[in-house]
Chains A and B, each alone.
Chain A
Amino acid sequence: MDIDVQLREVSMHYGATPVLHDVALDVYKGEFLSLLGPSGCGKTTTLNLIAGFLMPTRGTVSLGGRVVNDVPPYRRNTGMVFQSYALFPHMNVFHNVAFGLKIRRLNSREIARRVEQALTLVQLEGFSTRPIRELSGGQQQRVAIARALAIDPLVLLMDEPLSNLDAQLRRQMRVELRRLQRQVGITTIFVTHDQEEALTLSDRLVVMNGGRIEQVGTPVELYRKPRTPFVAQFLGHPNFLFGEVVERRGADTAVRVGRQVIWATSDDPLAVGSPVAVVLRAESATLHSPPPPPDRVNALPGTIDYTIYLGTTAEYEVRFADGGRLRVVEQIASGIPSYSDGDAVVVSWSPEDTIVLAGSRESMAGMVL
């Protein structure tokens, strides 16, 4: 596949502060790639490096096969949508969208045609003459997208474009954005801190933390097979248990957590005795009324501490005899939670749904568990 954007050994310092460490990335033609991570992880810096507003301290940035480290931003032909939209307040919609075309000296008929085309794409036909201040947040955002697309750039760069919209609009725009990208087929790099957004929109995800890339892969890959504890906890807020490997039978791994033994399936070569973090997603566990079902390998009896009702799902916090806790999410078709506070339950889940990663509680200090 064609690689449109490539980063190799890119490091970046702001004065003495390191911001990016040895980042390598390939972005394929036509794909929707998200850079995901907490604030300060370097995702916006990476975007700015690709756009040309920053120069890497080390390493190369390539666009369309050509190294562009020394190429200024106005010659890179990347289209950027800024978080604040950055629409020119002294121009109306038409002139904003036409700006890049005018700079490229297209004739007025061509400009008019392409502006019209861009506005139609974002479903803002007829908005040409509106002044910017009369537009709603959602409309402004669409103008920003139209403006970036109008110049027919090599790659579309989006810096948290949906952050300033209210929740309802965000969800709508997500669908819009995906549809748009598929229709135009343009390579897109999307920066966000919202994992739900990234999972919904992307062909591939890049999870970043502290200036480094933690993992690259499809949403399903990252969600089901996180390779580091950070990635595991960033996507989905799963349960974390800590213990050590006590037995291995091929892929089957037994981990002792407290006084319990939990079975997991893992391809990683984890040695017996090594400290591990066990990741259990809240929706992977099932609740039963006691006694525990005989065919289940992992089954722990406990009590429901409290229930959070969310309409189609119910979230339970289950407390165990040894003081441990687990979050379990139940899909409820009938709209009524199956269990309530104080109920005695058995939590069970299958080894295939259990993720085991090298790590200990100390090594994960600072992460939200």
Chain B
Amino acid sequence: MRRYLRPATALNVFSVLVYLFLLAPLVVVVLASFNSADFLSFPPSGFSLRWYQSLWESEVWGDSFRLSLIVMAVVTPLALLIGTLAAYALVRYSFPGKGLITTLIMAPMVMPQIVLGIALLTYFSALGLLDSLVGLVLGHLVVTLPFAVRLVSISVHNLDPTLERAAQNLGATPLQTFRLVTLPLLRPGLVAGAIFAAILSFGELAVTLLIAGARTTTLPLRIFNYTEYNFDPTINAVSTIFVLLALVLIIVLDRLIGLVRMG
């Protein structure tokens, strides 16, 4: 590719160090999850799967896990559906107020998470939605929607509109065109959008911290509580699961649309 511009060795070494820096905390946590000691020790005392076992048997971690999965399972299809419709409208059509609506949809991404959290805290408090499943779903939806819209938009953008015209010319109504031609060709963007929405919801903490409560302790929230207040090496096992999940998803994403192209 660009072989004639082979970067200097200093650059190579420096860059590799940066990538190691990026990996360091994750690697450490994964290794620590197999540590047999029950306190934070380094060097590790021995290899053991006890923390995974403790995780498997734990009722509270199980509850949090299930809750996070449920919220994710509700948020993802909703974010994808709402996001796809909006993305299609924004990319394909022009109309008055388009800029305003685009800004509105992207706004939650631009707002500092603490501000969004506080706003929802006071708002949900008045509506009685604090510490509720509905509140969580709504909060996560607001956070994930911009990402879903953006990712699907890329696919819509890359979809040649002539194909939709061809379908219509052959007799397909707009609805039929969408079903038979548009949707199948949007699949990479849809899957990417779904994956991002799902993983963002699963790992969401900033807003959750402010609107969840004892009955709605999601997995990230529980990790937070344990890290802040009492220590439990099971956290390492839970964290490793997050890392593994991310790894799997990255492979899927790469197969689908090529990571390098996502930019």
Contacts and interface: CB of A to CB of B under 8 A. Distances in A.
Direct contact of A and B (CB under 8 A): yes
B160 A73 contact: no
Contacts of B167: 88, 99
The listed residue with most A CB atoms (<10 A of its CB), out of B163, B169, B176, B180, is: B169
A72 B185 contact: no
A80 B172 contact: no
Interface string B181-197: 10011000000000000
B106 to A, nearest CB: 26
B168 A84 contact: no
Nearest to A105: B171
Interface residues of B, number: 19
Contacts of A297: none
A86 B171 contact: no
Given A89-B185, A90-B184, A90-B185, A82 B172 contact: no
A99 B165 CA distance: 13
A82 B165 contact: yes
B171 A100 contact: yes
B168 A82 contact: no
Interface residues of A, number: 24
A151 B170 contact: yes
A86 B168 contact: no
A72 to B, nearest CB: 7
* Majority SS at the chain B contact face: helix
Contacts of A72: 168, 173
A87 B167 CA distance: 9
A74 B180 CA distance: 14
Residue among B168, B171, B174 with most chain A CB within 10 A: B171
A147 B82 CA distance: 34
A47 B170 CA distance: 15
B163 A86 contact: yes
B41 interface: no
B165 A73 contact: yes
Interface of B: 160, 162-163, 165-174, 176-177, 180-181, 184-185
Q: Enumerate the 10 nearest inter-chain pairs by beta-carbon distance, A residue then B residue, closest first.
A: A100-B170, A86-B166, A103-B171, A86-B162, A80-B169, A74-B168, A73-B168, A90-B184, A103-B172, A100-B171
Interface of A: 51, 53, 72-75, 77-80, 82, 84, 86-90, 99-100, 103-104, 147-148, 151
